[in-house]
Structure 1
Amino acid sequence: MKIRTEWQGKRKFKSLSSRNHEVMMDAVPDVGGENAGSSPMELVLMGLTGCMGIDVTMILEKMRLAPDRLEIEAAGIRAEEPPRRFVEIHLTFHVDGDIKPDKIWRAIRLSEQKYCSVAHSLNSKVASRLLLNGKEEPPAGQS
């Protein structure tokens, strides 16, 4: 896998994937950015939610289950001092459909612990919660 990232002036960068997909990045305004794209750290969270979303839908499909809706929110907590890495990431899975919570939790855990290469590439704790049809569901085996 190769990515090419080109400087576009000031703090703007354009990345091009090996499959010819373009992404614009920019720093936040307080460090000279102009809001011309997502920040690299936002893209890390996007990558994590995309990776886990793909895993979860594939795992549920293998269980012969299909959610009506799957949306993943990510909130990253960063260290105060440089390199300001994520020290914790909170994920909220919004799922609608006629699926038992333990099946969704199994798919989430398999993604977190075995399949998601983005999660395994991060040096941070990943904590997930599940909202099924608008109601929070605890992990299987917990109340």
Structure 2
Amino acid sequence: MKARIKWVENVCFVGESETGHAVVLDGAPDSGGRNLGMRPMEMLLIGMGACTSFDVVTILKKSRQPITDCVAEMHADRADEIPKVFTNIHVHFIVTGNGLNPMQVERAVKLSAEKYCSASIMLSKSVNITHDFEIVETSAT
């Protein structure tokens, strides 16, 4: 995997992936930025959330669960001192469907956390990561 980060001005950068996608990253005004994009640590947290969500949805679909939506709400604590690394990350999944099996949802979350999500498994080497979930039942139409 390759990526390219191009400095634009002050503390604003454009990140480009090898698949041809781009994202703007910037700092807060008190750090010399203009608040034009996400902070790098926000991007890291979102990347982990997307990685684990990808797994959960894929596992539930392969298990033929009637999933209609999946939202991962993330909360991260950071160290007070530099480097301000993540110290704790909690992922709360809100999985929606009609007749979802709670054991299958729990299994999908656990498999992602322990076996498939490279981002969260890598981060878990230095960060305490916890997960939970809730199921939102939709009515049959």
Same fold (TM over 0.5): yes
- Counterpart CA distance in 2 for 1:109 and 1:47 is 18
Equivalent AA in structure 1 for residue 54 of structure 2: I
Q: Is 2:105 aligned against 1:109?
A: no
Q: Give the aligned partner of residue 19 of structure 1.
A: 19
Asked whether the 8 Å contact 1:57–1:66 carries over to 2, the reply is no
Q: Give the aligned partner of residue 130 of structure 1.
A: 133
Residue 48 of structure 2: SS of its match in structure 1?
helix
Note the 1:1-143 alignment, pairs <5 A. 1-97=1-97, 98-122=99-123, 123-133=126-136
- Counterpart CA distance in 1 for 2:44 and 2:30 is 20
- Counterpart CA distance in 2 for 1:57 and 1:11 is 35
Equivalent AA in structure 2 for residue 117 of structure 1: S
> Runs in 1 of length 4+ with deviation above 3 angstroms?
none
| Structure 2 residue runs without a partner (length 5+) | none
- Counterpart CA distance in 2 for 1:113 and 1:3 is 26
Superposed CA RMSD: 1.2
- Counterpart CA distance in 2 for 1:34 and 1:75 is 25
TM-score normalised by L of structure 1: 0.89
Q: How many residues are aligned here?
A: 134
How high is the sequence identity, in percent, across the aligned residues?
A: 36
Give the Å deviation of 1:30: 2.6
Once the two structures are superposed, residues 74-93 of structure 1 have per-residue CA deviations (whole angstroms, 9 ceiling, x without a partner) of 11100000110000001111
Equivalent AA in structure 1 for residue 131 of structure 2: S
Give the Å deviation of 1:115: 0.5
- Counterpart CA distance in 2 for 1:112 and 1:124 is 13
**Which protein is richer in strand relative to its size?**
2
Give the Å deviation of 1:63: 0.9
- Counterpart CA distance in 1 for 2:66 and 2:89 is 26
